[in-house]
Amino acid sequence: MKRIAVFTSGGDAPGMNACIRAVVRGGIYYGLEVYGIIRGYKGMIEGDFIKMDSKMVSNIIQRGGTILKSARSEEFRTKVGREKAYQQIKAHHIDGLVCIGGNGSFTGAEIFYQEYGVPTVGVAGTIDNDLYGTDYTLGYDTAVNTALDAIDKIRDTADSHDRVFFIEVMGRDSGYIAIQSGIGGGAEIVMVPENPDTFEGVVETLAQATRSTRRSSSIVIVAEGEELGNAHTIAEHVKSKLPYLDIRVTNLGHIQRGGKPTAIDRLLGSRLGLAAVEGLIEGRACVMAGIVNDKVVYTPFGDAIRKKKPLNTDLIKLVNILSI
């Protein structure tokens, strides 16, 4: 292993730059040449490689997003596209890859390894925290804190105007952001794809809160992957059953993906970036570097992608108890 390349792929996440920094400086520490690939698999196909040094990653650990840019590549999904990418890998004499991304990025890396045998170690960079094989993914902690800050501000206006706010947070297949920001923000209801909800249950909970506690303001957190629909759909149904409630809807959207990473995400990116480099040096391939019980572990891409990461059901119970 003499020359490696690092790239970011899929949705950006706070902490990616900390990870890039660790890959570059970790690689240099171990005597490797390190290249960056601009715009993920798209840049790999187009040969958009740059040699990186320690100075290039100075003053980036505190920045959100990714200095290597990210893009989705339909061409890489084709065999012809992957052949072009492999030719560029050979032309630049790359011996191993570090892929920072989510399950779609790892799926591409797994297929690429099966076809061409280029050793790849992944780092989970996704705010959803939905990958098996690591307790936390890059960007998750920052996203939760961003959502929590918004929830706190909305709570102020909800109390002032006696309103019920339905707040939609990210989490296409996972309720991790919803459940933690909901507990931290004191939400009365948290709706996540892992836990079956009913319209009747939501209506009854809000009606009961009004009757028993005379509470006229409430916060309902809805994960975007909620099976009953998005926050607007659920709010409209509740309004039809409880017309006396003053209901508003807020979708926090992509603000959850941006911003300065928290200390936790900076540390996580640094640890996993170095772990990815060390994994390649040790001869590991087609695996994801993660942290489980505060220790670095390597999980095969197949498991990281396809095994379900369960939501802690105790947290759902906690929401129900604390919202009384």
DSSP 81-143: HHHHHHHHHHHTT--EEEEEE-HHHHHHHHHHHHHH---EEEEEB-TT---TT-S--BTHHHH
Chain centroid to Cα 304, Å, comes to: 14
Contact present, 121 and 6 (Cβ < 8 Å): no
DSSP 45-97: HHT-EEEE-GGGGTT-TT--S-TT-----SGGGSHHHHHHHHHHHHHTT--EE
| Active site members | 128
Cβ atoms within 10 A of the Cβ of 153, count?
11
Among residues 225, 130, 123, 222, the alpha carbon closest in space to that of 176 is found at 130
Sequence-ordered list of residues with C-beta below 8 angstroms from that of 136, at least 6 positions apart, any chain: 129, 264, 268, 291
Q: Which residue has the tokens 């919803």?
A: 178
End-to-end CA separation in angstroms for the chain: 58
